Amino acid sequence: MRSYQIQDIRDFMKKLLLREDFDTFLLSEASITTYASFHIDGRFHPEFLSSSEAELLAAEKSGYTLWKRLRPFFFELTKGKNTPLHLHIVFRLAPHNVSSLLAQTGISILPEQIDGLFLNIHFDGATLSCTSGTSLKIFSLDRSLDHAWDEMLEKFFRQKEIPFT
């Protein structure tokens, strides 16, 4: 687990809320405080949709909603002259990307043994930080998955031109 201090908050928020940079992540949960406090549970509810619509949403078979579906709603909550008082978002890596990471790194953990690879974004009104996290369904002293996830996030930040310390 590593914590990253984001240096350019305005640019990061633009990439988070206006662009597609984070759209492939699944939203686990989010909360924001603006004129009121809002909490969003990212769990996907296919029973809300018609059967034909639900079939089109293959990525949500993981049980969570893609950020790209909720980003417009989140943007609406942040629009205006004032900066949010608080923002907390927990992203999780989509299962097919978890499998890709395991294959690329040669880590011997099975995808079904991983509960999630997380990116926690926290804004307190003045500073913005991101923290990586992993959760396994098994006990293991091996931290190779933690290191691989941290390296992947750092590569993601560099690729998206997000300066961090």
The DSSP line for 114-136 is EEEEEEEEEE-SS-EEEEEEEEE
| Confidence at residue 58, expressed as pLDDT on a 0 to 100 scale | 53
* Residues 46-94: tens digit of each pLDDT: 777 766 666 556 545 678 989 998 999 999 998 878 889 999 999 999 9
> What is the C-alpha to C-alpha distance for residues 157 and 144, in angstroms, rounded to an integer?
20
> What is the C-alpha to C-alpha distance for residues 126 and 107, in angstroms, rounded to an integer?
38
pTM of the model: 0.90
The tokens describing 17, both together, are: 């809320």
| Confidence at residue 45, expressed as pLDDT on a 0 to 100 scale | 77
Percent of the chain at pLDDT exceeding 90: 77
Average pLDDT, the chain: 91
CA dihedral 143, 28, 95, 148 (to 10 degrees): -30
